[in-house]
A and B are shown apart, each in its own frame.
Chain A
Amino acid sequence: MPAPTAAAPPPASIEVRGLTKSYGDHRVLRGIDLTVPRGTVFALLGPNGAGKTTLVRALATLQPFDGGTARVEGRDVRTQPAAVRGLIGLTGQYASVDELLTGEENLVMVGRLLHLGRARARRRAAELLDRFDLTAAARRQTRTYSGGMRRRLDLAASLMASPPVVFLDEPTTGLDPRSRRTMWDVVRAMVADGTTVLLTTQYLEEADRLADRIAVLHGGRVATEGTAAELKAQVGRERVTLTLARPADLPAAARLLRAADPQADPADGTLSLPLHRTDDLRALLNALADARLPVTAVRITAPTLDDVFFAVTAPAELETAR
């Protein structure tokens, strides 16, 4: 018997290697590599036309791809599409609810097409309607639903089979802030239950709030990948901006702190410098106080995913990627 291996790597739920896809001359995906650990949220971030939807559709067996491999829970997407379909739930960009059916009928229909049987389909539908706060509207035709209700019903439909992997293609595009937050709560609850979620989004805040890891897709490639904190660290660190009580003190303050590489803004009477540790802030303020250069306001700014997004999706970046 082989000896048990120590510390096996955590099993990946989704593994993509060198995936390519072209429409004629247009190379939409130019070799995508992704690994999504089980039970985590992975966000694909990118501008319109970056290939996010194409990638999700390829992984969901709806879109054949040209090269590379993709596995979902160990099953090959290309050679075992039926097995993959049994493991995934997909919520597309356009809610695919049946408008003439009620919310409940929609879910029961999906349950029966999943071959759950009538009774189990009904039970599961009731459970999900309750969880997504749709019980009151369950007997209404979905054409009377709001955008947020449709998205929730659509998501509920993709959860009927309790799939271990869920793909969400722009789950909150076009939703109002309240519905967006409800959707986020729903996604967090799914992940807490052990579901793996791969979502695409154009909203940096969404990726920041929900995702364990983020890949920025640009020009058909993964431009950068990591946790939100790692990505932000790539574009710079936190900065502190100090407003001096007397703008005339600005040159003196800049001289005093010159070791920290400050930038003075005479128009605002502010001094801004990178912050390496929070301890620096205390030292900074003490030094200014000792030199009798009073400060009226302190503002700390962290880099945002916006900075990452704009840094990696700049048009010049696209050129060098070719």
Chain B
Amino acid sequence: MTTAPAPAPSPLGRAYWLLADSAVLTARSLRHNLRQFDALLLSVILPLTLLLMFVYVFGGALHVGTAYIDYVVPGILISAAGYAASQTAVAFSQDLTSGAIDRFRSLPMSSAALLTGHVTASLLRNLLSTLLVLGTAVAIGFSPATDPLAWIAALGTIALYILAICWISIAFGTIARSAEGASGFTFFVLFLPYVSSAYVPPDTMPAALRPFAEHQFVTPVIETLRGLLLGTPTDSAPAALAWCLGILAVTVPASAYLFRRRTRA
């Protein structure tokens, strides 16, 4: 006895459903963010607090050769992206450890949309908090370059960085056995910018830390951002681009593999 197999959706159809299903799940994640106080805290209040604290509390004591607010804004933007990514790891892990995943898996939907939905929501949420930080910074004395092309390139750089660390966090969320475990990822992303050129130039650090601070992937991203926003040289752009694309090239397939393995058990 044979039964004709169900027609496999065409590649174009699959791509369409991936986009459509991602949009539905992105809207779901954004609704979650609007209705959770801690999400609001992490994506709006924390970046602004960080900005004000570094400018007004530490800024007076830190001498970096330019106005400290001009130096620190790119660093704040990159740190804020880290908070958003850790939130994504937790939210994704919650989906995997609750009944939600069974509901989604029993639907004839694109399963990759579960991942891309979280990433897209994180990207949108984070771009919003980026604009908020930039607006506030300008209001309290940040004087960036005014070249619109440089601004577009700067936003592009931030978006690429957000994508890269969001996919890292999706991979973490897939491995984590609980949402608490996934939130451990926060330490990693919160720590990295401190040992980079985000808040102070690496050449002021001890010799042991300096090589790490100068070469870890956050530093070229921050330097590129700084160059674009302030009109200084952007020599680190190729390195920043290579890092971000390299991370994506590893984490996207790794997340897909880990997710499939996890949900098959």
Contacts and interface: CB of A to CB of B under 8 A. Distances in A.
Interface of A: 60-62, 64, 74-76, 79-80, 82-83, 85-86, 88-90, 92, 94-98, 100-101, 105, 109-110, 112-115, 141, 157-158
Nearest to B17: A115
B215 interface: no
Nearest to A93: B99
Given A113-B21, A115-B17, A115-B108, A157 B103 contact: yes
Contacts of A60: 106
A114 B108 contact: yes
A98 B6 contact: no
A61 B106 contact: yes
Which of A60, A96, A97 counts the most chain B CB atoms within 10 A? A96
A3 to B, nearest CB: 20
A80 B103 contact: no
A85 B106 contact: yes
A110 B100 CA distance: 11
29 contacts: A60-B106, A61-B105, A62-B105, A62-B106, A75-B6, A80-B3, A80-B5, A83-B5, A86-B6, A86-B108, A90-B102, A92-B102, A96-B98, A96-B99, A96-B100, A97-B99, A98-B28, A101-B28, A105-B31, A109-B28, A110-B107, A112-B20, A112-B24, A113-B24, A113-B25, A113-B107, A113-B109, A114-B107, A115-B108
B261 interface: no
Interface string B82-115: 0000000000000000111011111111000000
Given A74-B3, A80-B6, A115-B20, A100 B36 contact: yes
A96 B102 contact: yes
- Please name the 7 residue pairs, one residue from A and one from B, whose CB atoms are nearest each other, closest first: A96-B99, A83-B6, A96-B103, A113-B109, A90-B106, A94-B99, A112-B24
B92 to A, nearest CB: 14
Given A85-B106, A96-B102, A100-B35, A109 B24 contact: yes
Which of the four size classes fits the interface of chain B? 20 to 34
B5 A114 contact: no
Given A96-B99, A113-B21, A115-B20, A82 B6 contact: yes
Contacts of A83: 5-6
A89 B105 CA distance: 11
A92 B99 contact: yes
Interface of B: 3, 5-6, 17, 20-21, 24-25, 28, 31-32, 35-36, 98-100, 102-109, 264
A113 B104 contact: yes
A9 to B, nearest CB: 14
A69 to B, nearest CB: 11
B99 A82 contact: no
A8 to B, nearest CB: 15
Nearest to B6: A83
Contacts of B5: 79-80, 83
A8 B99 CA distance: 41
Contacts of A105: 31
Nearest to A118: B24
Nearest to B24: A112
Nearest to B33: A100
Nearest to A108: B24
B104 to A, nearest CB: 7
Contacts of B109: 113-115
Nearest to B27: A109
A64 B263 CA distance: 10
